[in-house]
Amino acid sequence: MKKVFLTFLLITSISVANAQIFNFGIKGGLNYNSNGNMKVDVLNIPNNLKISSDQETGYHIGILTEMKLPLWLYLRPELYYTHTESSYSNEGTKAELTMDKIDAPVLLGLRFLKIGRIFLGPSFHYNINTKLKGSDIIDDFKKVSSDDFTVGAQFGLGLEIGKLGVDIRWETGLSDSEAKYIYDNIDLGGLTVDTSQQLFMLNIYYKFM
pTM confidence score: 0.81
pLDDT at residue 20 tops 50:
no
For the segment 145-154, the average pLDDT, to the nearest whole number, is: 85
> What is residue 16's predicted lDDT score, i.e. its pLDDT?
47
Domain ranges of the chain: 2-207
Structural Rg of the chain based on CA atoms? 19
| Amino acid found at 95 | A
The SS3 assignment for 72 reads coil
Mean of all residue pLDDT scores within the chain: 80
Q: Which helix (H) or strand (E) holds 2?
A: helix 2-17
SS3 101: strand
pLDDT band at 163 (very low <50, low <70, confident <90, very high): very high
- pLDDT of res. 56: 81
Q: Which position has the higher pLDDT, 209 or 130?
A: 130
Confidence of residue 118 (pLDDT cuts 50, 70, 90): very high
* Residue with the larger pLDDT of the pair 47 and 202: 202
DSSP letter string over 32-46? EEE--PEEEEETTEE
Q: Which fold has domain 2-207?
A: Porin (2.40.160)
**Closest C-alpha among 23, 55, 25, 11 to residue 203:** 25
Q: How many CA within 13 A on the CB side of residue 186?
A: 3
Question: How many angstroms separate the first and last alpha carbons of the chain?
Answer: 32
Q: Residue 5 pLDDT > 80, yes or no?
A: no
What residues are paired with 181 via a beta bridge? 143, 191
Percent of the chain with pLDDT over 70: 75
Q: Give the highest mean pLDDT range of 93-97, 140-144, 160-164.
A: 160-164
Distance CA(8)–CA(2), nearest Å, equals 10
Residue type, 118: I
Q: What is the pLDDT of residues 23-44, one digit of tens each?
A: 889 999 999 987 767 777 655 5
Q: In the prediction, which pLDDT does 174 show?
A: 85
- Helix, strand or coil for residue 7? helix
